[in-house]
Amino acid sequence: MKKMMDLVVTQNEQLNQNYSLIKLTTTDKAPLTEMHPGQFVEVRVDGSPSTYLRRPISVNFVDKQKNELWLLVQAVGDGTKKMCEYKQGDIVNLLLPLGNTFTVPTSNPEQELLLIGGGVGTAPMLFLGSRLKEAGFKPKFLLGARSKNDLLQLDDFRKYGELYCTTEDGSFGEKGYVTDHSVLKNTQISQIYTCGPKPMMVAVAKYANMNKIDCEVSLENLMACGFGVCLCCVEKTREGNVCVCTEGPVFNIENLTWIN
């Protein structure tokens, strides 16, 4: 059940010049609302005169021991830039949790699960990977970026599975795009999960379809309200147009029109 609530910032870690990792907890020490991989929150950005609507941010991780919600925020506009300025002790109003979730397999822990993230789309892959490991799986992560400076939270990802990387300039991992990485050629993959720029996700979806691999994608359409009113996030599917914020953000590629 979604709630509107105030959380307090416990830490704001500047990962590089464009990204901040913001950690929040409840103001009264009560347990956080239950959240699942793939879901997102809507953040009210106070103090930004040009930001009228909430900003959708993927759930990056939930640290149950510390009762913390992690949000990976890329500073791309006035709203997210203001968020990246949050300080310890700041109070932030959120609507959470929103959206559906990735599918966690219920059998055969030996199957190969590949989690592919690009840019800020790596955010939900960390939480998903942690849950998959809890369920007895050994996920593999494939992260893509322009250069090594854009690859984030690598040590956190390594806690939950094998890590592979690509960079467009070849500064870290294999040079090229995620769909060029050798792990796709050397591993019998059973399931792919992906989030990132749409061209990347379309390429991954086409690869998965061609190789008959089940694939779920988390769309990053603009979701201004979070509950299907503003119609900013409409996506065309095989069953018609749907709001990503209520019917997604996670979709099986078989339900999208990206592939023939």
Q: 245 labelled as ligand-binding?
A: yes
| Residue 197 marked ligand-binding | no
Both structure tokens of 132: 């998959």
Ligand-binding annotation for 165, yes or no, is no
Would you say 233 is a known binding-site residue?
Answer: yes
- Look at strands 240-243 and 174-175 and give their pairing: unpaired
> 230 a known binding residue?
yes
Q: Is 111 annotated as a binding residue?
A: no
Rounded CA separation 212/160 (Å): 26
DSSP output for 140-165: EEEEEESSGGG---HHHHHTTSEEEE
d(CA 154, CA 52): 34
- Tell me: is residue 213 an annotated ligand-binding position: no
Is 57 annotated as a binding-site member?
yes
Asked if residue 10 belongs to a known ligand binding site, the reply is no
Q: Establish whether 62 is an annotated binding residue.
A: no
Is residue 195 part of an annotated ligand binding site? no
Question: Binding site: what residues are annotated?
Answer: 55-58, 72-74, 79-80, 225, 230, 233, 245
Question: Binding site for FAD: what residues are annotated?
Answer: 55-58, 72-74, 79-80
Question: Binding site for [2Fe-2S] cluster: what residues are annotated?
Answer: 225, 230, 233, 245
